[in-house]
Amino acid sequence: MDSIVVTGNGPLKGEIPIAGAKNACLTLMPATLLSDEPLTLTNAPRLSDIRTMTVLLQSLGAEVQSLQGGQVLAMSSHDLNTDKADYDIVRKMRASVLVLGPLLARRGHAVVSLPGGCAIGARPVDLHLRALEAMGAELDLREGYVHAKAPSGGLRGGTYEFPIVSVGATENALMAATLAKGTTVLKNVAREPEIVDLARCLKAMGAQIEGEGTSTITIEGVERLHGATHRVVTDRIELGTYMLAPAICGGEVELLGGSRDLVGAFCDKLEETGVEVRETDRGLIVSRKNGILRAVDVTTAPFPGFPTDLQAQMMALLCTAEGTSLLEEKIFENRFMHAPELIRMGAKIDVHGGTARVTGVERLKGAPVMATDLRASVSLILAGLAAEGETVVSRVYHLDRGYEHVVRKLSGVGAKIERVKE
């Protein structure tokens, strides 16, 4: 099993290219199931989660080719041979449930395993199902699988208001509604850039969609969708993560392909700490050349609020900010598992339920730490950039799910970082 070794090495300088969005690509890939014509995605990230979705689509009979070093995905679902998404694949990644809506809409039936570790009602998979029921789907849960069947003649338009905002449920319902007969109105939907990106791709395939990026999306169903080529939107979470690198240890870095509209609330908080963010014709430049970091309070929220997927990384920054910061996690429970590892590095963090109180210290100290999840793993790497001595981050297989070439990108701007075999 690999580890990543980071040694504090002073300010960073240079540029980092930002990849296509993992969360967007994982949603765009199942869209191929809606059509018998080819769908090609460019600017695809090269990640283990993308490979998992590839295996899932291939298990259904779809063709998926990885071209140009993995940055282009050429897909075709002209000859699907099954409507069943098996547990052995789905359990590896929650995004696998996104094949449910497309399969049901195009084929009229689908059997999809519940994602691993998920209980209906405890996490919002039930929202996916309720939205599909609003389009006439008949659903039955048996032995860990969702058995879904469309009414005679296919799904039909309906109206559904999500009781809470859910990105995945919005995506599943949006895809299914493109082939439903009549008009579907989805209310209180997610507004994330990944939703807008999915709508753009579906429109390129011939879907009739209005309102993406707002809280209400209206879809007029069409008879069939055709093929298309679509560029995956920039990964705003990778963008925010690498923006924190010069913020946490000083210097100036340009993030190629970044834009403020993807991470507006995050930029606002970063600037409150005393870090400078400015736009260029190539992306965003982040610099911290003088002055101490100031403590700020952060509350995670659905887009356009502060992203939950940047909370762990922001905590790493605030560990050395002057004063006390409060981080309130409103999206997911149990998302402070990185805090004990940061404490091992000398951080002062007190967690009570969904709130973490972070009191800044002068400097963190390198230590052996363990990654507990994807975002926690990169938060520990960021902390190591600013720590005194050597930090060894173990269980970095989490990292491969969401960040490509971390060592190459950070070492390219002057970080002392390497990946080693244990």
Supply the CATH number for residue 272's domain: 3.65.10.10
Two structure tokens written together for 263: 């991470």
CA angle 23/26/27 to nearest 5° reads 90
Q: 237 with 23: CB under 8 angstroms?
A: yes
Q: How far apart are CA 99 and CA 61, in angstroms?
A: 13
Q: Are residues 315 and 304 in the same domain?
A: yes
126 is known to lie in a ligand binding site: yes
Residue 391, phi then psi, degrees to nearest 5: -115, 130
Q: Are residues 278 and 353 in the same domain?
A: yes
CA angle 264/378/345 to nearest 5° reads 115
Across-strand partners of 3? 394, 420
- SS3 call for 422: coil
Q: Are residues 178 and 45 in the same domain?
A: yes
- Burial code of 255-279, b = ≥16 C-beta within 10 A, e = fewer? bbbbbeebbebbbebbeebbbebee
124 is known to lie in a ligand binding site: yes
Task: Tell me the Ramachandran region of residue 374: left when phi exceeds 0, alpha when psi lies from -120 to 50, beta otherwise.
Answer: alpha
pLDDT at 116: 58
Q: pLDDT tens across 174-231, in order?
A: 999 999 999 999 999 999 999 999 999 999 999 999 999 999 999 999 999 999 999 9
Nearest Cα neighbor of 79 from 92, 64, 62 is 62
Q: Which long-range contacts (CB under 8 A, 24 or more apart) does 303-308 make?
A: 303/190, 303/191, 303/192, 303/193, 304/191, 304/264, 304/265, 305/265, 306/265, 306/266, 306/269, 307/236, 307/237, 307/240, 307/263, 307/265, 307/266, 308/332, 308/335
Task: Name the catalytic one among 25, 118, 201, 267.
Answer: 118
Q: Are residues 59 and 30 in the same domain?
A: yes
Active-site residue 25, yes or no? no
127 is known to lie in a ligand binding site: yes
Of 231, 261, 292, the position where a domain reaches its end is: 231
Listed in sequence order, the residues at least 6 apart from 348 whose beta carbon sits closer than 8 Å to its beta carbon are 319, 358, 359, 360, 361
Q: 181 with 154: CB under 8 angstroms?
A: yes
Report CA-CA distances (Å) from 162 to 94, 129, 159, 187, 193. 19, 11, 10, 6, 18
Q: Are residues 56 and 181 in the same domain?
A: yes
125 is known to lie in a ligand binding site: yes
Q: Are residues 285 and 326 in the same domain?
A: yes
Q: Are residues 135 and 283 in the same domain?
A: no
23 is known to lie in a ligand binding site: yes
Nearest Cα neighbor of 308 from 365, 345, 266 is 266
Helix pair angle (100-107, 167-177), 10° resolution: 10
91 is known to lie in a ligand binding site: no
Q: Are residues 181 and 106 in the same domain?
A: yes
Q: Are residues 59 and 93 in the same domain?
A: yes
81 is known to lie in a ligand binding site: no
Residue-range definition of the domain harbouring residue 8: 2-19+235-421
Q: Are residues 325 and 312 in the same domain?
A: yes
Helix, strand, coil shares of the chain, percent, nearest 5, are 35, 30, 35
Q: How far apart are CA 105 and CA 90, in angstroms?
A: 19
Q: Are residues 35 and 6 in the same domain?
A: no
248 is known to lie in a ligand binding site: no
Q: 350 with 343: CB under 8 angstroms?
A: no
Cα 230 → chain centroid: 18
331 is known to lie in a ligand binding site: yes
pLDDT, averaged across the chain: 94
Q: What is the DSSP letter of 136?
A: T
Of 180, 204, 231, the position where a domain reaches its end is: 231
Nearest Cα neighbor of 116 from 78, 88, 150, 85 is 88
Two structure tokens written together for 394: 């173990």
Q: How far apart are CA 38 and CA 151, in angstroms?
A: 27
Per-residue pLDDT of the chain (422 residues; tens, 9 = 90+): 899 999 998 999 999 999 999 999 999 999 999 999 999 999 999 998 999 999 999 999 999 999 999 999 999 999 999 999 998 888 888 889 999 999 999 999 999 998 754 333 345 589 999 999 999 999 999 888 999 999 999 999 999 999 999 999 999 999 999 999 999 999 999 999 999 999 999 999 999 999 999 999 999 999 999 999 999 999 999 999 999 999 999 999 999 999 999 999 999 999 999 999 999 999 999 999 777 899 999 999 999 999 999 999 999 999 999 999 999 999 877 789 999 999 999 999 999 999 999 999 999 999 999 988 888 899 999 999 999 999 999 998 888 888 999 999 999 999 999 999 87
Sign of CA dihedral 263, 95, 342, 296: positive
Q: 417 with 380: CB under 8 angstroms?
A: no
Q: Are residues 93 and 180 in the same domain?
A: yes
Of 231, 250, 278, the position where a domain reaches its end is: 231
The total domain count for the chain is 2
Q: pLDDT tens across 312-357, in order?
A: 999 999 999 999 999 999 987 778 999 999 999 999 999 999 999 9
CA angle 313/398/385 to nearest 5° reads 40
